[in-house]
Amino acid sequence: MNKPKLVICDIDATLVVKHKTLTERAKKAIQKLREKGVYFGIASGRPLYQIRENIKEWGYDDFDCVIGLNGGSVWDGIHKKEYSFYPMKKEWLKETYELMKDFPTEPSLYRDGKEMFLRESTLSEIARNFYANGNVSISEGLDDFLGYDTGKIMYRLYKEEDMPPIEAWVKNHPNKNWVGFKTGPVLIEFCDKNCNKGFGTKEFCRLNNIDLADVIAFGDTSNDNEMLEIAGTGVCMLNGSDDTKAVADIITDKICDDDGWADFIETHVLPLFE
């Protein structure tokens, strides 16, 4: 494992317990990395504006790298510039809707700084209650919902046990333009085939002359795989999915709930600078 110039992490179930704040131990680990001159970044399927709200809630002004929409957006905190790549075209959104319409799911996407649902449902209400600022909207109908290019489209399930057949259905219906993948126990997402966290990481490194061999990337599930594969060292959390463990170079000793990320930084990364 090389002494890193960039450490980049997925958020939920990797850096933090889902929808929780950073622990003090994790904050100290980030501080020590930055004191050693290591850039620190996070990568998520969420849009940049949501991620940067999280960063401020955690007590930071900014991070060096923020990758949103599974690689569709990149914030270069070093040069204070935002980049966008590979949106889902509206005709592709319609194709995913046809693929998923017979399953018990609720589609949503991001538009105008809000998560837009096709219709009111218990899932849209859950989302509305989750967002502190109420950033949820309802479309004016299917033509409106599917009528604009966007970063990605999501399908939320009502029950976790419905995931296996839906995930298998998506995998058995590949498309030349877009890809679908599970990003949580009750969430399937679709984005441009060229768009993933690995691509976003490559772009940030290209912009800042960082060798990928000097990147340590952390993740826990399928939409982290490309990021772990392209990094010099890819680390999967002990609580991670089997496919992500298979592409990782290292698996942490502890799960996310036990501060597994901070433990790995303390035990395996910071000693590289001694």
222 touches 244 (CB < 8 A): yes
Q: Looking up tokens 């170079």, which residue turns up? A: 249
What pLDDT score was predicted for residue 141? 95
Cβ burial 32-69 (10 Å sphere, 16+ → b, else e): bbeeeebbbbbbbbbbbebbbbbbeebeeeebbbbbbb
Paired tokens of 138 = 């309802």
Phi, psi of 152 (to 5 degrees): -165, 170
At 152, the amino acid letter reads: K
Cα distances (Å, whole numbers) of residue 54 to 26, 109, 228, 244: 15, 19, 23, 25
pLDDT in tens, 17-74: 976 889 999 999 999 999 999 999 999 998 998 899 889 999 999 999 999 999 999 9
Residue 108 CB coordination number (10 Å): 26
Helix 163-171 with 90-100: angle, nearest 10 deg: 130
Residue 183 pLDDT exceeds 90: no
SS3 84: strand
Residue 247 pLDDT exceeds 80: yes
Q: Given 3-state DSSP classes, what are the helix, strand and coil percentages for the chain, each rounded to the nearest 5? A: 40, 25, 35
> Smallest Cα–Cα separation from 100: which of 163, 20, 27?
163
What pLDDT score was predicted for residue 133? 63
> What is the share, in percent, of the chain residues with pLDDT greater than 70?
98
Q: Looking up tokens 């994790």, which residue turns up? A: 26
